[in-house]
Structure 1
Amino acid sequence: MKKLSFKIIVTVIMIIVGFIVIQWLLPNQETTESGSVTIQIYNEASELVYEGTHDFEKGMYLYDVLDASFELTCAN
């Protein structure tokens, strides 16, 4: 029983340490100021099919900007 408790405690500690390391290593993708982004979409023939400028606010992610402007779906 002692051995099992020790293994559980070590596992929980390693999960917490791993989470902290991942959060520390991965850069924050959140914007630090507001602005705008220009999006250009081309088809296979290199023809421009969409061009638009979209504003974003501080704290937004690129996904938030795209989700507000387009209907995003998961490709299978």
Structure 2
Amino acid sequence: MPPWLSQAEIDDLCAPLTQYAAQLRFIRGLGLTVRTKPNGAPLLMRAHFEEVMTPAKKSKHTKCQPNSAGLRLAYAKG
């Protein structure tokens, strides 16, 4: 498997767009970094595509919360 997406894979991703310029705009709109081949076709690296398009694993860390009790205590002393 090559390190870049094949033209068939890019065509499938960008369907129904067939013009290379339209495909480039669409891929960039997805937030992907895309290069241009000498013939104008988009060149998209497979590793970057999978990194951006695969949902990130959720961390089990809880969202940071302010210590309201400590804040009240700090202002009560002053």
Larger Rg: 1 or 2?
Answer: 2
TM above 0.5, yes or no, is no
Scaled to the shorter chain, the TM-score interval is under 0.3
